[in-house]
Amino acid sequence: MSDLESLFDSHTHNFETKNRGIVQLTELSGSQLPEFFSFGIHPKEQPFNLEELDLICSELSSNPGFLAIGEIGLDNRYDAIQKQEELYVFQLKIAQKLQKPVILHCVNTWDRCRFLHEKNAPNTSIIYHGFNKASITKNVLEYQQAIISIGESILTNQKLQSGIQQIPLERLLLETDMGEIDLIETYQMVAEIKKVSLYALTEQLNKNANRIFKYE
């Protein structure tokens, strides 16, 4: 296995990724699915047929590569917050039923996202993906079910570079999301900031991923 293939990518939209990681499905056309994937309806995609959503998740649940529900959540940049909440809660209940972690899309709504998760999917982990708001790091870490996933913004966001010092390695994942920078650059930056070797960081994050997503 190459160095790149040993890195775990907790959230990517790149179906051609060379890393091991979770590909976000945006549609279910064709029969070829990635080795590991998540499925969920983004808040900007509401309204969505909830019966269809439940059926899709039930069908996918027999696939061992279906590792997470997401990305789902709340985003105050979009309208219809009440409808967003209905969709989010519905998917949280699916996550609870299937016992799958949640990949969270959260923009200026952490307190509400946490409250609804704690109420509807308390036995699942919630991965705050694309995390870049260092000012709320402590608040997120206070919720024991929360994992923080960071992408390429760590390369340029100085506040985040300082904030990551607060995050225990056991509560951390790294991702590419829709970025174009190789994941290894993000790993290298985090290893440098955390003053650990790239090998040690990779080993720990792989352990985290295996613990959270329970993949074989």
Query: Can you list the domains of the chain with their CATH numbers?
Result: 3-213 (3.20.20.140)
pLDDT tops 70 at residue 182: yes
Averaged over 31-37, what is the pLDDT?
86
pLDDT tops 90 at residue 138: yes
pLDDT for the residue 26: 72
What percent of the chain clears pLDDT 90, i.e. is strictly above it?
83
Cβ contacts of residue 195 below 8 Å, gap of 6+?
none
Binding residues, as ranges, are 71, 105, 129, 177
> What pTM does this model have?
0.93
Instruction: Say how far apart CA 35 and CA 32 lie, in whole Å.
Output: 9
pLDDT tops 70 at residue 4: no
Averaged over 197-211, what is the pLDDT?
96
Averaged over 54-81, what is the pLDDT?
94
Tokens 């940049």 correspond to 77
pLDDT tops 90 at residue 205: yes
Binding residues for a divalent metal cation, as ranges, are 71, 105, 129, 177
Q: Tell me the pLDDT tens digit for each residue of 44-60.
A: 887 788 999 999 999 99
pLDDT tops 50 at residue 1: no
pLDDT for the residue 160: 96
Element (H, E) at 138: helix 137-141
Averaged over 176-186, what is the pLDDT?
94
pLDDT tops 50 at residue 2: no
Instruction: Say how far apart CA 160 and CA 146 lie, in whole Å.
Output: 17
